[in-house]
Amino acid sequence: MSSAPRSRNAGAGFTLLELLVVVGIIAILAGLLLPALGKAKSQARKVNEMSSARQLMLAWNVYANDHGERVLKGYRHFNAGEELPVDSRGQPVPHPINSRYPWRLAPWLGKSFGVMYANENRPLLEQFQRMEDPFIGTYAASVFPSLGINATFIGGDDLELPPEPRAIERFGPFCVLKTTDAVRPSDLLVFASARGPFEGRVVNGFYLVKSPFFMARRWSEQFNTGDGPEAWGHVHPRFSNRAVAGMVDGHVEALDRRELSDMRHWANQADRADWTLQRVK
């Protein structure tokens, strides 16, 4: 007796044409999904850095409240009689490390430098802290926080223009030294996403950011990722051409390149986007 006829498709695999169609569909879906996944990852990094910035601004404002509204010094030497910060071994942190804002602000963050180091900066900090010489970790903690401080116009910068009586007499009250000095606290930038040089490469994070204008223009006209960090004053618009910024009033936002280039976000005296510091007449 003859057996029943088998179905034509029974046990049959995919044909070459069918495999090519499936591979093509997968490629199309991947092409559609990968940009979306990239945007989602970038958005997650942005949210993480904004969260760090909010904690940073909270500590910055608490510091001011604890010091009679005097703001955190941007990049300034310790005066005689000022209590120096101490490292994990209880040793005083030396100059110039102690002049950078992370060691000044650390006590108001529970000495948690992790708050200042977001995303890919965190492993960099942890790498330094695991090194045999603990001083390397102390040094690194002061150099590469995710956000740099607008020291020239907020708190003061001893290397650029110290806000001493002679400078204030010459240029007016160019530097905010008390939170109550700020004319537009919701617009005035304290911290911004930064990048800096490290061993021949550029890494996210640096302790200072410099304004687009000072006594003359000092930023490049356009931001180019291939340029050195100094081309845009160490500011890094790394989130879809935006940088995270913490403002004097404590709120955090992402500023685009045009907003970052506007001096009204940098200097209390600025009354136009291309404002420069001038002698008082």
Which residues in 52-173 belong to E strands, given as ranges?
147-149
CB 56 within 8 A of CB 191: yes
Residue 276 lies in a domain: no
Residue 248 lies in a domain: yes
Residues in the chain: 281
225 burial type by CB count under 10 A (0-12 exposed, 13-18 middle, 19+ buried): exposed
Sheet containing strand 147-149, strands side by side: 147-149, 189-193, 242-247, 252-256
Query: Mind listing the pLDDT tens digit for each residue in 148-158?
Result: 999 999 999 99
CB 230 within 8 A of CB 242: no
CB 220 within 8 A of CB 231: yes
Residue 12 lies in a domain: no
Residue 3 lies in a domain: no
Domain assignment of residue 37, given as a range:
18-265
Count: domains in the chain: 1
CB 204 within 8 A of CB 146: yes
- Angle, alpha carbons 72-193-154 (nearest 5°): 25
* CA contacts within 13 A on the Cβ side of 132: 0
d(CA 96, CA 165): 23
Average pLDDT, the chain: 89
The lowest-confidence range among 180-184, 198-202, 228-232 is 198-202
Residue 93 lies in a domain: yes
Mean pLDDT over 30-37 rounds to 68
Mean pLDDT over 170-180 rounds to 97
Residue 126 lies in a domain: yes
Query: Mind listing the pLDDT tens digit for each residue in 214-247?
Result: 999 999 999 998 999 999 999 999 999 999 999 9
CB 233 within 8 A of CB 209: yes
109 token code pair: 């963050």
Residue 255 lies in a domain: yes
* Whole-number pLDDT of residue 37: 60
Question: Following DSSP, what letter does each residue of 14-35 receive, concatenated?
Answer: --HHHHHHHHHHHHHHHHHHHH
Query: Mind listing the pLDDT tens digit for each residue in 36-60?
Result: 666 667 788 999 999 999 999 999 9
Residue 161 lies in a domain: yes
